[in-house]
């Protein structure tokens, strides 16, 4: 199992490099400040990922807590401390948080070195290195959260992290594809999958049409111009109430300048690029757009079938292109571009039925509530998924440009409240076959 140990140690190290790189440009005052009631001060996430790692890769494996110890657990418990008040807590300073993270990491790597990760280890935390990969995914998810908080900084304080230019838009031969009726595999039995992806099961789906690309900024501008935000008939009643209360008139970070729309992002103001997938829209905006277009949002089962099912072999893959790990030629993941890429930019990443950019670029809102799959068992703790099940949260699929490949696959389920739009979320539409 030496290679699995090495792989996990490498992922943990790569992830920490990214975490530290995300906070490096900012001084202590910026790191401690709460920039928005929806997001934590950056320094909270920094110590939270370390505390989580101490709980799961140190204490859960039988070792003593890393100083300063369990007294920190309450401060960094996401349930005990609502985001809006985290600035007022007696948090570790940025230097203390970095030192705590390094101390935990030294101990967790030490323990990993001698851990038995064999598939037949009766401890389900250790078999296949489950808990180590869970901690990798957790820190990667918080790296995306850190970026969502950084995107909310005033433009003068923003930072670009050496982003590289996106590949050019590509040719998309048709706007929608028809997916025939049939049995679709949903979920995953991969040893590293989350509890909410399990058990893998078969669902029966009718035929449907789904867009080959996410909805673009150009598409969304047309919805705005044609009065989409002012037509109550297009909106879910709760969405219309929210649109009124919050005064929604365009995606978050958009501003009208004469004839054009500008957007602010990471220290830059620029014209909204027409062919990029729209992002920073909430579920209610996506739902209203779909109705305006004479369509609807796909269910998560429809989304997953369009992303992974191969009509020639009948098999369902981990990625739209098969089983190979993603490269920068397959999908826009991992924060390198710091933005979505234009539609058609990843011909290698097209799914067998013909959908572009199912993975990466923007999280895609689906019609579905975040509910457990039949036979769901919470593992290894209720607060990852189980406490969010029900009709309050909507499922998002596919990962964004800010998602690391470790925390992304066609079966990965993300969720958020239907009013949220500071996340890197867009959508594509679907419709019934008739
Ligand atoms: C799966 C992105 C909804 O950020 O609340 C982080 C991930 N869980 N720490 C979140 C998570 C615990 C979670 N999401
Ligand atoms: Fe967390």
Averages of pLDDT over runs of 10 residues in the chain (434 residues) are 89 98 98 94 98 98 97 95 92 98 98 97 98 98 98 95 95 95 97 98 98 98 98 98 98 97 96 98 99 98 98 97 97 98 98 98 99 98 97 98 98 98 98 94
Alpha-carbon distances, residue 116 vs 8, 119, 192 (angstroms): 13, 9, 16
> What tokens does 156 get?
């003068």
Query: Is the dihedral angle over the CA atoms 101, 103, 108, 109 positive or is it negative?
Result: positive
Distance, CA 57 to ligand 2 centroid (Å)?
A: 14
Q: Report the pLDDT value the prediction gives residue 1, as an integer from 0 to 100.
A: 45
Q: Report the pLDDT value the prediction gives residue 434, as an integer from 0 to 100.
A: 82
The alpha carbon torsion through 386, 390, 394, 400 (nearest 10 deg) reads 10
Cβ contact 199:373 at 8 Å: yes
Q: Whose CA is nearest to atom 14 of ligand 1?
A: 414
Distance, CA 401 to ligand 2 centroid (Å)?
A: 20
Distance, CA 214 to ligand 1 centroid (Å)?
A: 24
Contacts of 4 (CB under 8 A, 6+ apart): 117, 128, 129
Q: Which of 214, 226, 141, 263 is nearest to 362 (CA)?
A: 214
Q: Which of 354, 329, 362, 340 is nearest to 428 (CA)?
A: 362
| C-alpha–C-alpha distance, residues 38 and 143, integer Å | 16
pTM above 0.85, yes or no: yes
Contacts of 89 (CB under 8 A, 6+ apart): 44, 75, 81
The residue to mutate among 50, 77, 141, having the most atoms of ligand 1 within 8 angstroms of its beta carbon, is 141
Residue 384 CA: nearest ligand 1 atom is 8
Q: Report the pLDDT value the prediction gives residue 95, as an integer from 0 to 100.
A: 98
Tell me if 141 CB under 6 Å of ligand 1.
yes
Furthest CA-CA distance within the chain = 65
> What tokens does 397 get?
């699929």
Tell me if 138 CB under 6 Å of ligand 1.
yes
| C-alpha–C-alpha distance, residues 425 and 151, integer Å | 13
| C-alpha–C-alpha distance, residues 244 and 188, integer Å | 40
The residue to mutate among 145, 283, 409, 414, having the most atoms of ligand 1 within 8 angstroms of its beta carbon, is 145
Question: What is the end-to-end Cα distance of the chain in Å, rounded?
Answer: 53
């Amino acid at each position: 199992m030496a290679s699995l140990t090495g792989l996990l140690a490498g992922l943990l190290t790569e992830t920490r490099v990214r975490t530290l790189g995300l906070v490096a440009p900012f001084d202590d005052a910026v790191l401690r400040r709460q920039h928005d009631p929806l997001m934590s001060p950056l320094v909270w996430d920094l110590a939270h990922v370390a505390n989580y790692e101490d709980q799961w890769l140190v204490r859960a494996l039988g070792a003593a807590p890393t100083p300063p110890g369990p007294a920190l657990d309450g401060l960094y418990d996401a349930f005990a401390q609502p985001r809006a008040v985290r600035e007022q807590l007696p948090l570790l300073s940025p230097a203390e948080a970095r030192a705590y993270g390094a101390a935990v990491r030294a101990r967790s790597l030490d323990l990993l070195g001698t851990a038995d990760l064999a598939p037949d280890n009766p401890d389900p935390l250790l078999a296949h290195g489950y808990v180590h990969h869970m901690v990798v995914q957790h820190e990667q998810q918080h790296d995306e959260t850190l970026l969502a908080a950084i995107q909310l900084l005033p433009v003068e304080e923003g930072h670009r992290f050496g982003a590289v230019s996106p590949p050019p838009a590509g040719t998309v031969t048709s706007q929608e594809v028809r997916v025939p009726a049939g049995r679709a595999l949903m979920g995953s039995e991969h040893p590293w999958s989350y509890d909410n992806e399990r058990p893998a099961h078969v669902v029966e789906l009718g035929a449907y049409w789904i867009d080959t690309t996410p909805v673009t900024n150009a598409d969304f501008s047309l919805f705005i111009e044609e009065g989409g935000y002012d037509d109550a008939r297009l909106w879910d009643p709760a969405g219309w109430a929210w649109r009124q209360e919050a005064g929604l008139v365009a995606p978050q970070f958009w501003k009208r300048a004469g004839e054009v729309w500008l957007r602010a992002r990471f220290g830059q103001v620029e014209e909204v690029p027409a062919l990029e997938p729209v992002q920073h829209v909430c579920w209610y905006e996506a739902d209203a757009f779909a109705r305006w277009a004479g369509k609807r949002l796909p269910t998560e089962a429809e989304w997953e079938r369009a992303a992974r099912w191969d009509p020639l072999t009948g098999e369902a893959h981990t990625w739209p292109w098969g089983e190979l790990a993603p490269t920068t030629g397959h999908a826009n993941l991992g924060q390198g571009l710091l933005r979505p890429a234009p539609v058609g930019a990843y011909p290698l990443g097209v799914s067998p039925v013909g959908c572009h950019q199912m993975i990466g670029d923007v999280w895609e809102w689906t019609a579905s509530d975040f509910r457990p799959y039949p036979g769901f068992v919470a593992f290894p703790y209720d607060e990852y998924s189980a406490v969010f099940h029900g009709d309050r949260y909507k499922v998002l699929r596919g990962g964004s440009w800010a998602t690391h490949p470790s925390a992304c696959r066609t079966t990965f389920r993300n969720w958020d409240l239907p009013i949220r739009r500071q996340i890197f979320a867009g959508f594509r539409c679907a419709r019934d076959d008739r």
